[in-house]
Amino acid sequence: MAELGVPVELTAAVWKIEASPGQQVAEGDVLMILESMKMEIPVESPRAGTVTSILVAEGDQVQEGQVVLLLDA
């Protein structure tokens, strides 16, 4: 098991956080939903694991490549 940072693909606002710390997730599960240019973009889990911490809050602005969530995977 290693800690894995999940980055976002684009500059956006955090619209909705779906995952919570301690939660078991499967690869492809939606961790949070971003909003950019009037579109909703899901952030999916890159692999199965446990969410250890969430580094952003709903409404935050995030930059392309920024790590928003840590996963024990």
The residues that touch other proteins, with contacts defined as CB under 8 A, are 9-13, 35-41, 61
Closer CB to other proteins, residue 2 or residue 38? 38
Residue 50: CB minimum distance to other proteins, A: 22
4 contacts 31 by C-beta, under 8 angstroms: no
C-alpha–C-alpha distance, residues 16 and 13, integer Å: 9
Task: State the nearest-atom distance from the C-beta of 15 to other proteins, in Å.
Answer: 11
Using left for φ > 0, alpha for ψ between -120 and 50, and beta otherwise, residue 13 falls in beta
Residue 24 or residue 63: which is nearer to other proteins going by CB? 63
